[in-house]
Amino acid sequence: MRPCFQTLCRGSILTLAVASFPCLAASEALVVNGASEVSASEIYRGGYERVLDQDWPEAARSFARLLARHPDSEWADDASFWQCYAGERLGRASSTVFDCFANLLTLFPESEWADDAHRNLVRLGQELARQGSSEYQDRARILAQGAGDPETLKVLEALAHLDDAEAVALVLRQIERTEDPGLRARMVDSLEDIESPEVVQTLQGLVERDPAIEVRLTALETLGDLGRVTSDYLIQIAGSPYEPVELRILALDELSNDDTSPALRAMLREVALDEATLETALWAVAILGDLTEPRALEVLAEVLDSVRDPKLRLGTLKAVSEHEGGAALELLRGAIDSDPDNEVSWEAVPMLAEHETRAAFSALETFAGSSFPEPLRAGALDGLAEFESARAAEVIALVLLATDDEALRTAAIAAAGKNGHDAAVEPLLRAAEATSDSRVRSLVLRALDEIGSRRARAATIELQTNSPQGTPTQ
């Protein structure tokens, strides 16, 4: 049990236990003032076993006994919940069970069972109202009339899922009057399964006018969950430079990749070309990469011709690499070839491997050649490693054995290991034997281990056997 109200808690729990279960012997109830031979955890364990067995009479007696003997126990709130639960299974009146759960919340407002108790209160209140006892539903709703605290929220979330127009109206009114943005956002989230014109209208108003961005975001997500947002609505939000960046990004994320309308392409083009709002521009080019139609590739080509921001150019090249076909490959290759000294090209060149075609291999082989800057060549080697073929291993080996550049040698060794073909084993061994540099030999051993073939294991043994004195072998 959480920190208790001691005397009040002790008396109230005992009263609840005896009142709810008159069959509890008076002598057992009076044991509160004497020593107990059975611990609270043992009693709880026994009661919970009865719950699993669905032996509700014995479960109820066990939990009542625990509350009588150990009112301050850490198990008291657990026992109180199961006592109410068992009472309902025993067929006790819904009003009695309602009062049981209400008392649990009074005594243990911070209990881990509080959410379940709130849901049961709302359910029972609705049930009793249908039977003509509307005061119980009113009592549940009164709990939702507070100042927007977390306990109120639990009731509101339960109310929102009732098939009851008045309950939903109460939730909508509470959203309007609650000041805390976090609580308001959680209330909005509770509407995700409630399909009614009033809910949709409220959510649209929150998206467009609420002062708190987290509420606006949650409202838009909830509209999406309800299936009540159109592409035109999302395009309008995403394309507006006056909306917060976070809301525009969410609208972009909600847009379906199946939408190939001219309006979507026009909006994405406009957003992607706006380098001043980099975050939304990056999202726009990413969506253009997901669109499979050729006209999206045409927009990406225009973006590459126009923008200069390195992050945006790299994001655009990544989007281009997501497209299949020769046109996308040529666009990517041309962008790299036209600016080989740029870091963006160095990072983009491995993307050529995603096409997995002979033309892509040829482009990577060309960029691995000695006429290009070493960082670009290193990226090309990384792309060649993805092909896992003997020819790729041979190209990587040629660079490894010919270069004196330390960074390029390191990249070639890593690519040989990643490629995994036996054709790289002999060149790796030669590269290691040609130097006394312990770092290079260690990298070669790691690459051989990645290849993992019998030939690679034999080369590893040979290299370790012939290791210069003082050179680490691993």
Cα–Cα dist 259/257, whole Å: 5
CB 179 within 8 A of CB 160: no
Question: pLDDT at position 163, please?
Answer: 58
With tokens 């309308």, the residue in question is 261
| Cβ neighbour number for residue 209 with a 10 Å cutoff | 9
Cα–Cα dist 244/236, whole Å: 13
CB 320 within 8 A of CB 308: no
* DSSP states of 247-261: HHHHHHHHS-TT---
| Cβ neighbour number for residue 256 with a 10 Å cutoff | 11
Cα–Cα dist 73/43, whole Å: 11
Question: pLDDT at position 162, please?
Answer: 58
pLDDT (tens, 9 = 90+) of the chain, 474 residues, equals 433 322 223 333 333 443 343 333 333 333 334 444 578 999 999 999 999 999 999 999 999 999 989 988 999 999 999 999 999 999 999 889 988 988 888 888 888 998 888 888 878 887 887 787 767 766 665 554 443 455 555 565 666 665 567 777 877 888 888 888 888 898 898 888 888 888 999 999 999 999 999 999 999 999 998 888 889 999 999 999 999 999 999 999 888 666 678 899 999 999 999 999 999 999 999 999 998 888 999 999 999 999 999 999 999 999 999 999 999 999 999 999 999 999 999 999 999 999 989 999 999 999 999 889 999 999 999 999 999 899 999 999 999 999 999 999 999 999 999 999 999 999 999 999 998 889 999 999 999 999 999 999 999 999 888 766 544 444
Q: Is 0.75 topped by the overall pTM?
A: no
Q: What is the CA radius of gyration of the chain?
A: 35
| Cβ neighbour number for residue 98 with a 10 Å cutoff | 23
Domain assignments of the chain as residue spans, ordered by start: 231-323, 388-474
Cα–Cα dist 125/133, whole Å: 8
The span from the first CA to the last CA of the chain, in angstroms, equals: 56
Does the domain made of 388-474 have the CATH classification 1.25.10.10? yes
Cα–Cα dist 293/267, whole Å: 16
Non-local (6+) Cβ contacts of 433 within 8 A are 463, 466
Q: How far is CA 283 from the centre of its chain?
A: 18
Q: How far is CA 375 from the centre of its chain?
A: 35
Non-local (6+) Cβ contacts of 236 within 8 A are none
* DSSP states of 33-97: GS--SS-HHHHHHHHHHHHHTT-HHHHHHHHHHHHHH-TTSTTHHHHHHHHHHHHHHTT--HHHH
